[in-house]
Structure 1
């Protein structure tokens, strides 16, 4: 049976906290807490916009979350500093297990795609910086739908763009909300539990399986052949 894998990007292939290095230069020991809240609000704002049908691109969610984080933590950053942080967000690093995992799956003739809330230009920048071009069949952004995960329409958009059926499609993501969205849409899904302290939501939709890193994917999919 042929399989297609849709890889989430931020938090799965690419480390959204790779911006901590730049933050440390500005904030010192407060960088980690700042990055965590920034990421939390970025996702929250995308959820809100999806529910409100008030789409603006992921970069807008990211910038508004940055502004809120400064207010919440009483940190004053200059406009130049904020622009530098936004630019750094388009040059985030890949996780160490990303390239080896994608290469191994490619050897198994499994069609791998990137599937992200990010905007096309930003995703192209990320993939170029992390040297990921050629590791996936293509990059599919939710931007064409003008909504965000876990809106059912974005999962339908992926199926149309990749010309595959839900029953043959697997999402790989470290984000529980994304796993839930894909499972509700009829996909299989692998949750990458990078942090063992993170718990999965107690919902009726659960991962098809849970792995601790991308490096376990090749062996797992070999068992399904």
Structure 2
């Protein structure tokens, strides 16, 4: 499932205003760099504040995109970047649908947020994505349960460009600190697992048009 998002480039990511917050993030970036697994810090819009080298290595072969780079906004990357399926295994069911579920909750909580509204408009521009959001997502949640949409603790497939990892799994560890929480931010770490996977037939294919295979268009 890959989508070409329309609309304008998102507004610049907010920068912490106080020197204390800026200094904290600078030190946190140094801490993040010491983490051996791909890790990033995002806000409630999934705007990316920080990444480490392991994260950038994971997505090093991703092509350019005006609005959906993984180092800019991870939600937009998962939903809209045509290369997302080349890194995120089982892209539709393991990544897109959980992200759509999380997005739906964010819209309920931050309904007037301009960044989230822009994503919602881009979803609405694609009839198949809109059908997935309005009809397929509720069907999927009823089938698999609300817990399937949770990120923390979820084990999801990856296609790592480093052949030492290749087709593998990661466990997502979501955590925050009091300071990050005050910025409405969370750190996500993709803990790579030793067990290797056998790539499925539809994984790792770059798609340039809208596709939706894992959920029905309506109940």
Q: Which has the larger strand fraction?
A: 2
Q: Which has the larger helix fraction?
A: 1
Structure with greater contact order relative to length (CA < 8 Å, sep ≥ 6): 2
- What TM bracket, shorter-length normalisation? under 0.3
TM score, norm. by length of structure 1: 0.27
